[in-house]
Amino acid sequence: MGILKVQNVNKSFGGLKALHNVNLDIEEGKIHAIIGPNGAGKSTLLNCFVGKLTPDTGTVMFDGHSLLGIKPHQINQLGVSRVFQTPEIFSELSVWENTLIPCFAKRDGAFTLNALSRVSDNKDMAEKAEQMLIDVDLIDKKDMLASSMSRGDKRRLEMAMCLSQKPKLLLLDEPTAGMARADTESTIELLKSIQKKLKITMAIIEHDMSVVFSLAQKISVLAQGTVIVEDVPEKIKGHPKVKEAYLGEAQV
């Protein structure tokens, strides 16, 4: 049974059809990659998942709830976390506070006027945050200002922040874009280990095929607004339609 179900989604901007009858079914516990050349409609699709755009027709259901027209924090409350193309972290806070905030958000919900207790009195939160930092190997940097970290570390921190909420679905938007080779590989390893340990469902939007082949259990290929192929990585590799889509781009 899929946890995120996208059915017959259409979206056009003016005359331009960005998404055309998109159907997706992301299964629980798997890493599902959505790839496609530039302009295939990946970002539009992602924005439909997170409530930024409302499709003209069709539904996006997550765990029995529609994701259409609701606000980011509500989507998160349903169990969806998101990793951005450039890491979105609280750069003026310490690494430690960065990890604490999602823990509190998970416990206290969208708004709690928790103004008189001390952050440091919440031992259970601290434990959780610490565990997360250990998991992503950032525990020795916990007192650093987040903005002073390397890009790779920022990515790990962001990942840790998302994971500490134990999401049912983790959306990753080109998680390795702009990274050096080594960082990319370590990120892939990180994702793999997380998958292994926590069994979290992940949806990865990616431009670069090579990133996802070793990672994803299932790949959907998006081209010109439609899903052209959906299969396991091995089968995608040599698929003529995929070749055509990507080569077409290369020729341009």
Partner 1 sequence: MKTISKADMRTLFFVAIIALFAPLILNPFPTESGWAQFNAGYPDLMQRFAIYGILAIGFNILFGLTGYLSFGHAAFLGVGSYSAVWMFKLLSMNIIPALILSVIVAGLFSLLIGFISLRRSGIYFSILTLAFAQMSFALAYSVLTPLTNGETGLQITLNDPRIFAAENISGNLPVTSLFGMEMRDTWTMQLGAWDFQFNIGYYICAIFLLLAFYISIRIFRSPFGMMLRAIKTNQTRLNYTGINTRPYTLAAFVISGMYAGLAGGLMASMDPLAGAERMQWTASGEIVLMTILGGTGTLLGPVMGAGFIKYFENIFSKINDTVLHGWFSWMPDGLENVIVWILHLFTGKGWHLTLGIMFMMIVIFLPGGLMEGISRIGKWWKRRNVKNDNTSHNSSTPAQ
Choosing from 61, 68, 93, 229, the residue that interacts with partner 1 (CB under 8 A) is 93
133: Cβ–Cβ under 8 A, 6 or more apart, which residues? 95, 96, 99, 139, 142, 160
38 binds partner 1 (CB under 8 A): no
Residue 123 interacts with partner 1 (CB under 8 A): yes or no: no
Task: Please select the residue that binds partner 1; options are 97, 130, 230, 231, rule is CB under 8 A.
Answer: 97
- Which of 5, 30, 106, 142 touches partner 1 (CB under 8 A)? 106
109: contact with partner 1 by CB under 8 A: yes
The DSSP annotation for 171-239 comes to: EEESTTTT--HHHHHHHHHHHHHHHHHH--EEEEEES-HHHHHTT-SEEEEEETTEEEEEE-HHHHHT-
Closest CA to 168 of 41, 49, 80: 80
Nearest CA to 157 out of 84, 206, 76 is that of 84
- Looking at the Cβ atoms of 49 and 246, the one nearer to partner 1 is 49
The strand order across the sheet containing 65-66 reads: 16-27, 2-13, 57-62, 65-66
| DSSP letter for each residue of 129-147 | HHHHHHHTT-GGGTTSBGG
127 binds partner 1 (CB under 8 A): no
Span interacting with partner 1, options 107-115, 191-199, 205-213, 235-243, rule CB under 8 A: 107-115
Residues of this chain, 149-188, that bind partner 1 according to CB under 8 A: 158, 161, 165
Given 66, 71, 180, 189, the residue binding partner 1 (CB under 8 A):
71
Binding segment (CB under 8 A) for partner 1, from list 90-98, 208-216, 230-238, 244-252 = 90-98
Question: Residue 170 Cβ, how far from partner 1 at the closest point, in Å?
Answer: 11
Does residue 81 interact with partner 1 by CB under 8 A?
A: yes
Q: How far apart are CA 40 and CA 226, in angstroms?
A: 8
For binding to partner 1 (CB under 8 A), which residues are involved? 50, 71-73, 75-77, 81-82, 84, 88-93, 97, 100-102, 104-106, 108-122, 158, 161, 165
